[in-house]
Structure formats: structure tokens, C-alpha cells
Amino acid sequence: MIKAIETQYQGYRFRSRLEAKWAVFFDALGVKWEYEIEGYDMGELGKYLPDFYLPDLGCYAEVKPSQFTETQWAKCEALPEPCLLLDGVPGHKGWFITQYMAETDGGCSPSLDSYEQYVSGDEFGRVNLDWSAHKGRIWYLYGESIDTYESPDEAISAARGARFEHGENGARRHR
């Protein structure tokens, strides 16, 4: 198993470079974030400390390098507020959220099955983080493709271009 590299950014010590890249993405997008603010005892699931809380959007965000496992899903689903499942690096896609609330039908609860459909390409429950930042609330993709909206190109570029090696602070270099 490959061990993640702890990374410093904005005065925080992140457990991985991937988490730090998401913090860079949130900053570039204008989404306020708090890092590991509160842990929870989830009973049989064990203890859990979500990666981010996004106060303006009223949700948590958990970062994983790849698809969430059943146990990881269960922990995110058990949180008191919705949780964005951020699998991989920031990119051009909508992100799945645990407590999906459709404006038209009063809401529904996604399941691990619906998350697996999302991973396979279904648009159900996807969140557009660019529009969420712009609108100041969770903005869902109701079946539309992420391509139909403005893309957060600068934020994606900032996150993917962030470097933390040799004392660098994650900021992109301008040439």
C-alpha cells in the first residue's frame, strides 16, 4: 500500500497532497472550507473525521484517490449533513452527494447503488461545484451534462498545477 504524503497549505497540515489540491481548488473557486473540524463516533462503523466542511454550502466533503468503498460510503451517509464524495483530482465532472435533495419532488436519499450508478456515468445526484459557489448553495445537475455549464477551468488548473515539493506553497507559478 502506498502511503500518502502529508502536505502543508494555508497553515494546515493535510494528510495527503490530494486533500491539499482540493483545498487549492476550493480557494480558486471561492468556496470557503474548514479542514477536519469535528470527528464523530459512528458506533459499529468506528470513529470518523471528515476531511472538509464547506460552511456556505452546508455540507461536508470527503476526498479519496479512487471510488469510495461500502464502509467509506456508510460513514459519509451517516454524517448529520450531506457529504460530497470527491473521488480523484478536481476535474470536469459533477460530484456525488450523499443526501440528495431534489427541488421538485421533496428529495430522496441516494444509496450505495445510486453511487455505483454515478461512478458508471449516471448523472443522478451530481453536484456542480462551480455553480454551487456562484449560487451560494448546492447546485445539482438534474440529468444535464457537466459540459452544459461553464467549467471551472481556472480552479481545476490551479488544483492540478499546485506543487508542494521543496517548500513550495501550492500556488501556481506565473511565467
Percentage of residues of the chain with pLDDT beyond 70 = 74
pLDDT at 64: 95
Residue identified by cell 440528495 is: 100
Q: Calculate the CA 129 to chain-centre distance.
A: 9
pLDDT of 69 strictly over 60? yes
For residues 18 and 4, which has the higher predicted lDDT (pLDDT)? 18
**Do residues 86 and 95 touch, judged by C-beta distance below 8 A?**
yes
Q: How far apart are CA 113 and CA 109, in angstroms?
A: 11
pLDDT at 11 over 80: yes
Which three cell numbers, joined as nine digits, stand for 121? 456515468
* In the predicted structure, residue 77 carries a pLDDT above the cut 60: yes
pTM of the model: 0.81
Per-residue pLDDT, 94: 78
Is residue 123 scored above 90 in pLDDT? no
